[in-house]
Structure formats: C-alpha cells, structure tokens
Amino acid sequence: MHRLLRTFTALAALTAIGLTAGCSSGSGSGAQEASAVRGPATGGARQPGGAFWVDPDSAAARQVKEWQEQGRDRDAEALKRISEQPMAVWPAGDDPAPDIGAATRGAAKEGRTAVLVAYNIPHRDCGQHSAGGAGSADYYRNWVNTFADAIGTAPAVVVLEPDAIPHIVDGCTPAEYHADRYQLLSEAIQRLKRQPKVKVYLDAGNPGWISDARKLTEPLQKAGIVQADGFSLNVSNFQNDETTKAYGRALSATVGGKHFVMDTSRNGKGPLAGDRQDAWCNPPGRGLGTPPTDRTGDPLLDAVLWIKRPGDSDGPCRGGPAAGQWWPDYALGLARNAKEA
C-alpha cells in the first residue's frame, strides 16, 4: 500500500473524531477567459494568486517577519515566494467555523475567493499519519453542515475529502465502509452546493497513485460527481503539471466532461525518483510549482491551487516534525527550488 502525503492546519491528539487535518495524495497522491471559480473583480492590477485570498498571518508570513527581525533578509526574501501566495485553509475537525470565518472574512475584504479543504471523513487515511476523521456518519453530517453554514454567501472553492475516493480504489479503505462513504460524500456535495457561491471539487488522487484513471470513474459517480463542479488532482503530491493535466483530461472524459483543479504547491521539480513507497514523505530537493491562478488557458482546468500548504511537514520522516507542523527549513528549500516562470 502506497504511503500518502499529509497536510494539517491544526494539530491535536488522534481521537475518534480526531482533529488532524491533513492529507495527501498517495505516491501510489477549465478556466477559459473567465473562470467559473473566479470571485468578484477588484479592479486594477491582479495580485499574486489572482482571484484567491492570501492569508496575511500564515506560518510562512510569520516566519518571514521573524527572519527579517533576525537579519536573515536573504532567507526572508526567498520565503516570500510562499507567504505572498494563496494557500488552502484546512479547517479543524472539531469545529470548522472559526477557520472558515477568518478566511471568508479576509477574502471578502479584498473581493477574493477563499480556498477550503473539507477533510474529516470517517475512517480517514487508513490508520496512517492523518488517521482519524469524524467518529460517526452523523457527526460528519453535522460537521459538514457547520462547514457550509460558516461559508454563508461568501465565494469559496471547496476541495472535498482528499484521498477518500482513491483509498476505495486502492483497497486501503475496507469494503464495509464503502457504501457509507459514497453516501456521505454525495450528501456533502449537495449540502455545500446549497451555498450560492461555492464550487465543490471531489478529490480524485493523482496519476502516480491510481495510474489508470478509468478505475476512478465508477467510484466518483457513486459519490455524486455529477452534482459537483468537478474533481481535484495531485493534492499534496508532486506530479508535474503536464502529467496531471493529461490525467485530468482523461478522467474528465469518463465523468461527463467535468472540470478539475490541481495542486501545484510542491511539484516544481516533479516527484522524487525511485521507490514510490519512500517518495511521499518530505522528499528532498522538491520545489514550489506554478503559482495559483484561475487563468489556466485550459478549458477543463478551472484553477491551479496550492492546496497543500508548502512548508507543513508530511510526518516524522527525513528529520521532519510531526505531520502538519510548520518546518521552516523545508519551506526554505521549496522556495529556493521554485519552478521558474
């Protein structure tokens, strides 16, 4: 079984309803001229990230300030390649409302769109670094309802449950949980779509994980992809842009032409060569990928996003801290190895 990449915005003990937002896409993880995900125009020159909100108090932004105060100006300047870009918010597994409220309020002030990740499905992550999730189906339904209510009428892009569908396909999630998972995902899409300015993308892994995209077709259909705006690819993974886009087009053709978004946060150098079992966790030498934008030039690709927050550890491997903790040295490496425009 392929190990998976993980991302967290909040850490807590792993419990039945564990607050361990994370995720990934196993290593085994379209905007035309006017994008469907674009928020209200702000006028004037477009800022980094275009339509999407940049968190001024991210871990990267705080690190930049700290390094400036320490006189590490060169490192601080390099890290701005992360701090000045929009990144997804992974709301907490106990109460998502505070994180969502902060993001949507911040975005509203600038006429931008918040990017959010719903990651709390029961039996999440098959017991690996981000194991946990909601302790029951009813708890999850209530959590999704709170998540949606917190968005309100704000514009938002929601990436729904990274890994949940691929884990069904790769056999990691036991068969007895499949029917409930399909039902919960379908209900989550319907609930989120009741918010007037929400776009929902159901996660579909990455081409390095489920190599035959057609294996995802029926599971996505069972989970209600027809009701969603599309699917997400490469969350927390390192597959390069062209490989991911080709995979997205192939998968789209099997699910009614649905659009997709892709995570480019750390794919600037592509995946680590060698054994995929060892490539998922804090791989060395990786770099930031294409900056987030809703202007992709591809009619099926609605946006490139930084869904994984660059600099958050994948787990205690290669000298890293616990999954989801900020790791400034790794972040600096990603920034220095950033893909050239």
HSE at residue 340, side-chain half, CA atoms within 13 A, is 0
Burial of 149 (0-12, 13-18, 19+ CB in 10 A): middle
What b/e sequence results for 272-296 when a residue is b if at least 16 CB atoms lie within 10 Å of its CB, and e otherwise? beeebeebbbbbeebbbbbbbbbbb
Told to judge if 125 belongs to the known catalytic residues of this protein, a careful annotator would answer yes
Told to judge if 329 belongs to the known catalytic residues of this protein, a careful annotator would answer no
Q: Which of 55, 75, 99, 125 is catalytic?
A: 125
Q: Which of 55, 99, 163, 203 is catalytic?
A: 163
Three-state SS at 339: coil
What b/e sequence results for 211-245 when a residue is b if at least 16 CB atoms lie within 10 Å of its CB, and e otherwise? eebebbbebbebbbbebbbbbbbbbbbbbbbebbb
Residue 171 identity (one-letter amino acid):
G
Alpha carbons 213 and 195: distance in angstroms, whole number: 30
Burial of 249 (0-12, 13-18, 19+ CB in 10 A): middle
Q: Which of 227, 276, 267, 223 is nearest to 245 (CA)?
A: 267
Alpha carbons 112 and 295: distance in angstroms, whole number: 14
CA-derived radius of gyration, the chain: 18
Q: Which of 55, 75, 241, 314 is catalytic?
A: 314
**Residue numbers annotated as active site:** 125, 163, 314
